Homo-oligomer: A and B are copies of this chain.
Amino acid sequence: MAAAVIAPVTGEPRLVDPGRPHVGLEDQALTRGDGVFETMHVLDGRAYKFAAHHARLCTSAGIAGLPAPSAQTCRAALAMALDAAGPGSRDTALDLGAEHSVKLSISRGEPGGEPWAWLTVSPVPEQAFAARRDGVSVLLLDRGHDPAEDAELPWLLPGVKTLSYAVNMAAVRHARAHGAQDAVFTTSTDRRILEGATSSVVCARTRDDAAPTLLTPEPSRGILPGTSQARIFDTARRHGWGVDHGPLYPEDLLTADAVWLTSSVRLAVPVTAVDGHEIPTDPVLTRTLTDFLVGSPRG
């Protein structure tokens, strides 16, 4: 981590020493995963999809019964941290510029205390550059149930990006322990594709004589609405591409012309294999999707 800012619910954000401890042992983000977060991409000092991330943070916080810092406070904290963060890291393959990964989190705080927020800025890790460049093999993992069943049950925090991510992390570890590099969740009943452990799933159908069509699972059915997937689809639509939401099954990934895991920092990561079956990648389309993500810095 290169820089960190702490923002109390009331009061000004303040730069803190990223190398020092800042959290007490009873903080409920620590003891209960009780908080929400967003991860953003910063390129040459500019935050991408800031408005979409701040909106989703506010939605998450609202459902979880937490206050959220204003966009103004978040932008001030981000500027403060970026000033202190140093040069960022550079993807030698894509050469987009100096890149930072930014995490913005809200904790419920200590019992009886006040919620608080923090923002950290780190150089994008080499592992993310490697994933963009070389792609990842994925394992399809049963989510145990269809999260669409949770959608009307607010106490299950459907669609909330909480700090309670232990299962997402366990899924990635399981995939890595079984020869793959990332995990994609499916429903148990009909093996419908849901989402990556920390990403959205997008696939493409291409034809020589027409614009490509992009497909992704329905974001309303209990999965996290992906800000990168949404940005790619909005831009693709403006370019006259076909974009569609709908049920996707393992065979749709195996027969697609290309599949990606999309997320804010890793951008569009090509999927090279599904459950050990190699699938084609499309470097030109991958570059286009990446440009869709980093072509329009603000908003």
Contacts and interface: CB of A to CB of B under 8 A. Distances in A.
A33 B105 CA distance: 13
A26 interface: yes
Contact of A33 (B20, B118, B145, B166): B166
A170 B24 contact: no
The contact size tier of chain A is 35 or more
| Residues of A contacting B: mostly | mixed
Contacts of A150: 144-145
Contact of A163 (B22, B31, B105): B31
A64 B174 CA distance: 10
Contacts of A166: 32-35, 64, 157, 160, 162-164
Interface in A149-186: 149-150, 153-157, 160, 162-171, 173-174, 183
B32 A25 contact: no
A272 to B, nearest CB: 21
B144 A153 contact: yes
Contact of A167 (B29, B118, B157): B157
A23 interface: yes
Contacts of A4: 25
B170 A26 contact: no
Nearest to A19: B24
B23 A25 contact: yes
A37 interface: yes
Contacts of A144: 145, 147, 149-150, 153, 156
B174 A154 contact: yes
A295 interface: no
Interface in A110-144: 118, 120, 122, 141-144
A21 interface: yes
Contact of A157 (B163, B170, B188): B170
A128 B144 CA distance: 34
Interface of A: 1, 4, 18-35, 37, 64-65, 103, 105, 107-108, 118, 120, 122, 141-147, 149-150, 153-157, 160, 162-171, 173-174, 183, 188
Given A22-B24, A31-B105, A145-B150, 11 more contacts: A1-B25, A21-B24, A22-B25, A25-B120, A27-B30, A32-B33, A33-B166, A34-B166, A145-B145, A155-B173, A157-B166
20 contacts: A1-B25, A18-B24, A21-B22, A21-B24, A23-B23, A25-B118, A31-B163, A31-B165, A32-B33, A32-B165, A32-B168, A33-B163, A33-B166, A35-B166, A64-B166, A141-B153, A144-B147, A145-B150, A155-B171, A162-B164
